[in-house]
Amino acid sequence: MAIFLSFLLILLFPSANAGRPPSPGYWPSSKFRPMSFYSGFRNLWGPGHQSLDQHALTIWLDRTSGSGFKSVKPFRSGYFGASIKVQPGYTAGVITAFYLSNNEAHPGFHDEVDIEFLGTTFGKPYTLQTNVYIRGSGDGKIIGREMKFHLWFDPTKDFHHYAILWSPREIIFLVDDVPIRRYPRKSAATFPLRPMWVYGSIWDASSWATEDGKYKADYRYQPFVAKYTNFKAGGCTAYAPAWCRPVSASPFRSGGLTRQQRRAMRWVQRYHMVYNYCKDPKRNHALTPECWSK
C-alpha cells in the first residue's frame, strides 16, 4: 500500500522531483518570427570581435576587447529574445548579456532590464542574473534589483532561448518560454517607462561578476566566446502610434500569467533561485519599496 501511495504522489506531483520545470502551457516565443541579425541589429563596439555565419552571431572577449551589438530601433514595450550558448570551463569575471537599455539616450540617468550570465570557475554552474534599473539606479550609487538562478540545464551544452517581455504593467523574464521572474509595475518610480533599445555584449566585469569579484578573468583561457541566434524582437517601437497594443506573455491580452505559468515559475524559484534582493537582510529596502508594497 505504501509503495502504491508513493507512486500515486509522484504521478500527481511530478515537478517536486523532476529535473525540469512543469510545462508552462503557453509559449510566447512562438508568437514572434525569428529575424536575421542585420534586419534588426548592428554592431555597437568591438567589430573585430564579432562574426556572423548563416545561423549564428559569435562575439568574444580577449585581452584587447570584447564586443557588443544594439537594435536599430528603440521600443516602448515588446518581446525580446535570443537563443544563446555560452562557453564552458573557466569564465570567471566574464559577463555575457542580453538586455534592454536607454543609457545612450539618458547617460547618468538611464533605465535597464538585464539578463546576464555571470562567468564561473571549473566545476561550478553559471549564474543567470536578472536585474532592473530605473531612472539612474544603475548609475553612481547602484541600486540593483537582482534575482539570480542556477539553471536546470547546462547553458554551455546547447542553445536555449532567453527573453524579456516588457509591457507598461510588468516585466517577465523567460527561459525556454518558462517564466522565471515577474516584476510588476507598482509605481512609476519603480518601473522603466521610457523607450529602450535591445543590446547584447560580452565584457570583463572582474570587479564583481564572479563571487563578488573573488575570481577574475584569466586570459590564459581566452578567447571567451558567446553565440547568439534565433533573434526575436516584436512589440511597440518608440515611433508606433498610441493605439499600439503591448504584447503579452500569456493568452490574456491584458497581460499577467496563467495558473500553469505561475506554477512553473514557482517551481523555478523554489528549486533554482539562489538570490533574491528583496530577501537580502543587508539591503536597505527603503530604496526598493516594491519589495514590500502591494
Which one of the listed residues 112, 146, 170, 290 is annotated catalytic?
Answer: 112
In terms of Cα–Cα distance, which of 186, 211, 200, 219 is closest to 63? 219
Instruction: Determine the Cα–Cα distance for residues 94 and 210; give it in Å rounded to an integer.
Output: 8
The distance of Cα 261 from the centroid of its chain, to the nearest Å, equals: 17
C-alpha grid cell, residue 107: 547617460
In sequence order, the 6+-apart residues with CB closer than 8 A to the CB of 145 are 131, 132, 133, 137, 183, 277, 288, 290
CB-CB contact of 263 with 22 (8 Å): yes
Q: Is 112 a catalytic residue?
A: yes
- DSSP one-letter code for 254: T
Which one of the listed residues 116, 170, 211, 290 is annotated catalytic?
Answer: 116
Q: Would residue 235 be called left, alpha or beta, if left means φ above 0 and alpha means ψ between -120 and 50 degrees?
A: left
Instruction: Determine the Cα–Cα distance for residues 245 and 116; give it in Å rounded to an integer.
Output: 28
Instruction: Determine the Cα–Cα distance for residues 111 and 113; give it in Å rounded to an integer.
Output: 7
**Residues annotated catalytic, as ranges:** 112, 116
